[in-house]
Amino acid sequence: MKLIGIIVNPLSGDGRGASIWREIETYLQLNHISYMAKITTKAGEATEHAITLVQEHRVDKLIVIGGDGTIHEAAGGLWQIQNTGFNCPLAVIPAGTGNDFAKAYGIPTQPIQALEAALSETTKVQIDLLRTKNGMIAVNSIGAGFDGMVAKLTNEAGYKKILNRIGLGKLSYFISILRVFATYQPCTAWLEVDGTVHELPNMWLTAVANIPFYGGSIQICPAASPHDGVADVAVIQSRGRYRLLPILFTVYQGKHIHHPAVSFYKGTSISLSTQIPLLVQADGEFSGSTPLQIEIVPSALTVIGSFLSEG
């Protein structure tokens, strides 16, 4: 009999993970579906839960009930055991604040519909991963500078909790963007893409993307695809902050691409060094500081869903 593994972050979306899990567990029991569930009790635990569920309990698929940070950790666990012959598909029931991964793969927002899509496996996609030199992997994006600060501020902010409670969690990223925008100081960076070095004066952010979205539906790299074997890089440079104002309001639709302060690159091997250390985010979680070295790992993970290139 098939066994599904489930990882629940009960605190995702300020408690939405816990209430969605209650609904999902009832459905599984009523429908006599075999499952093994692990509930996270602290940050980082989803990685070990993913390894245990797949390696020890031999689950046939792994469903994450949580946000992008929990998906990031669970995918990291699947990645760690991949070389030992385990290739377990990953499904998601979105319960987070931003839910960019779920948006990219057309995963229903309604929990039971998302569960049914995960169980039926009607669509699956092999996705690339972004891997840093220190072995961390990301499923959505890795960014440095402005968006590293936005990720840190949002995850520490009291307003994230309040807005999640009233169903407006995504707005917390926008509030953080405005706060960081008011004070951010750009610096010079050096971006190397497949051996070619680009000097970037007044660099605000560099985002290396596997999917178009981050930060709660911001279409930072509209052309990014998770199954093309390359990473898309978006760079924003500007001496003055007010010149960037139009970007703040067009980036959600991906219409910032023609703004002269924005440039794009594509490559399989990307390095970023900066005049001063800049904060880094990986899948929306604060993840240290620059310098960065990122390689694309093609077709490294199976996701239950389908990539919606039009966003």
Asked if 44 interacts with ligand ATP (CB under 6 A), we say yes
Asked if 5 interacts with ligand ATP (CB under 6 A), we say no
CB of 284 to ligand ATP, least distance (A): 5
- Cite the DSSP H helix spans in the chain: 16-30, 45-55, 68-82, 100-104, 111-120, 146-156, 158-165, 171-183, 245-250
- Stretch binding ligand ATP (CB under 6 A), from 4-12, 49-57, 193-201, 268-276: 4-12
**Which of 149, 203 has the CB closer to ligand ATP?**
149
* Binding to ligand ATP, residues 146-165 (CB under 6 A): none
Q: Which residue of this chain has its Cβ atom nearest to ligand ATP in the complex?
A: 67
Residue 264, H or E segment: strand 262-267
- Main-chain phi, psi angles of 142, to 5 degrees: -130, 130
The DSSP line for 193-247 is ETTEEEEEEEEEEEEEESSSEETTTEES-TT--TTSSSEEEEEEE-SSSGGGHHH
Which of 66, 111, 148, 186 touches ligand ATP (CB under 6 A)? 66
**Which of 216, 267 has the CB closer to ligand ATP?**
216
CB of 217 to ligand ATP, least distance (A): 11
Count of positions on this chain that bind ligand ATP (CB under 6 A):
21
**Which of 99, 206 has the CB closer to ligand ATP?**
99
CB of 120 to ligand ATP, least distance (A): 24
The whole-angstrom separation of Cα 161 and Cα 13 is 8
The DSSP line for 59-95 is -SEEEEEE-HHHHHHHHHHHHHHHTTT----EEEEE-
CB of 107 to ligand ATP, least distance (A): 12
Q: Are 259 and 250 in contact (CB under 8 A)?
A: yes
Which of 70, 217, 225, 281 touches ligand ATP (CB under 6 A)? 70
Which of 77, 89, 96, 222 touches ligand ATP (CB under 6 A)? 96
Which of 4, 6, 13, 76 touches ligand ATP (CB under 6 A)? 13
- Stretch binding ligand ATP (CB under 6 A), from 9-17, 19-27, 103-111, 202-210: 9-17
Q: How far apart are the first and last CA of the chain?
A: 37
Asked if 237 interacts with ligand ATP (CB under 6 A), we say no
- Bond into 260 cis (ω within 30): no
Asked if 99 interacts with ligand ATP (CB under 6 A), we say yes
Which of 98, 143, 222, 305 touches ligand ATP (CB under 6 A)? 98
The whole-angstrom separation of Cα 104 and Cα 99 is 9
Asked if 284 interacts with ligand ATP (CB under 6 A), we say yes
Q: Are 74 and 65 in contact (CB under 8 A)?
A: no
Q: Are 210 and 128 in contact (CB under 8 A)?
A: yes
Query: What type of residue is 239?
Result: R
The whole-angstrom separation of Cα 64 and Cα 210 is 19
Which of 12, 225, 271, 274 touches ligand ATP (CB under 6 A)? 12
The whole-angstrom separation of Cα 112 and Cα 215 is 25
Q: How many CA atoms lie within 13 A of 227 on its CB side?
A: 15
- Stretch binding ligand ATP (CB under 6 A), from 5-13, 50-58, 120-128, 254-262: 5-13
Quickly count: other Cβ atoms within 10 Å of residue 177's Cβ.
22
- Stretch binding ligand ATP (CB under 6 A), from 42-50, 84-92, 136-144, 257-265: 42-50
Asked if 217 interacts with ligand ATP (CB under 6 A), we say no
**Residues found near ligand ATP in the complex (CB under 6 A):** 9, 11-13, 40-44, 66-70, 73, 96-99, 284-285
